[in-house]
Amino acid sequence: MHVGVSYSLKEFIFWTRRNIYKLIIIGLLPVILYQVIGLRWIGLPWTVTALLGTATAFIVGFKNTQTYSRTWEARTIWGGILNSSRSWGITCRDFIDDEICTRKLVYRHFAWLTALRYQLRESRQWETSSKAYNAEYQQYYSIPEKESPLEDELAKYLSQEELSYILSTKNRAAQILSLQSASIKNMESKKQIDTLKFLEFEKLLREFYDHQGKAERIKNFPYPRQFASINSFFITLFCILLPFSMLNEFEKLNDAVSGIMKGYMVWLVVPFSVLVSWVYTSLEQVGESTENPFEGSANDVPISQMSRTIEIDMREMLGEHDLPEPLKPRNNIVL
């Protein structure tokens, strides 16, 4: 997540520069054919491209609205995790008289947060963090889940026996919640808590399962590929046709100018076609970088930072003072 005022123009141009290079070539080719080789018939009517551009704009706008909704839903889910976690902390502290049991349940919850965020950071085939323009931008920020293995992080919160069991399972986050439920049931059987408290604990665990399931839904179900594909096709077609449609329009400007530019106004097709096409390709790239909010891109939901915030809050509830430092942004980006 970018936490600054905005991306700078320099950052944005650096991020989209590969598209700019392609658009310059796409803009130069028709001008050379038209002006140098003399193929005047390649100039297309402006109306054709204008209609295509209008349709493309609607599709791009629709995609970006939907991808933003995915990111906002992901942020809402993790906001729910944060609130439910605080409720879990005070419930463990106030419902259980045994400090050791309380601490075990709270620390196991940290293990669940850790396992969940590592699962959400796993790559999927449709995600875009491995694309060149995103991969090179990762040098400006850090992804905590890529800096240390899951085993080392879970070892901070689980016993060796539990760690070995969890690492042998497939959905580790779900199985940690299962361990929580088994521990609560064991305390209820031993009369350490009454039935009403047991039910309250189980209610919170169901909430965690619900939050996890919603996050997994976003992670494992991509923005529909048919919409993503047609969006890309339309933008590519528009960018190719745009300079051909500008040729005749800029040729007409030769009648209104004099001096060294007279007869060469058609060369202005290159910068103006690049500018207009860049707007469309940049909107496409922005939407693409927003559709997968857990992949590890600069625009992700900051689940690592939120997990650290939860840990700090809950450990303070236990009266601890040796607390981890909050995750700080690097180049205005924090995950």
330 lies in a domain?
no
Nearest to 103 by CA among 167, 174, 157: 157
What does the pLDDT average to over 240-269?
Answer: 81
332 lies in a domain?
no
183 pLDDT exceeds 80? yes
Categorize the per-residue pLDDT at 205 as very low, low, confident or very high, splitting at 50, 70 and 90.
Answer: very high
Placement of tokens 């991969």 in the chain = 135
Total domains present in the chain: 1
| Mean residue pLDDT across the chain | 89
- pLDDT above 70: percentage of residues in the chain: 98
Q: Cα 220 to the chain's mean position, in Å? A: 13
261 pLDDT exceeds 80? no
Residue 112 to residue 176: CA distance in whole angstroms: 6
Nearest to 266 by CA among 276, 275, 277, 257: 257
Q: Which residues contact 139 (CB under 8 A, 6 or more apart)?
A: none
32 lies in a domain?
yes
111 lies in a domain?
yes
The secondary structure of 87-142 as a DSSP string is: HHHHHHHHH---HHHHHHHHHHHHHHHHHHHHHHHS--TT--TTSHHHHGGGGGS-
68 lies in a domain?
yes
26 lies in a domain?
yes
322 lies in a domain?
no
| pLDDT of the residue at 227 | 82
Residue 230 belongs to what domain range? Answer: 9-317
Spatial contact of 328 and 334, defined as CB atoms under 8 Å apart: yes
Spatial contact of 230 and 59, defined as CB atoms under 8 Å apart: yes
Condensed to tens digits (0 to 9), the pLDDT of residues 124-182 reads 888 888 887 777 778 888 888 888 899 999 999 999 999 999 999 999 999 999 999 99
Condensed to tens digits (0 to 9), the pLDDT of residues 33-46 reads 888 888 888 888 88
109 lies in a domain?
yes
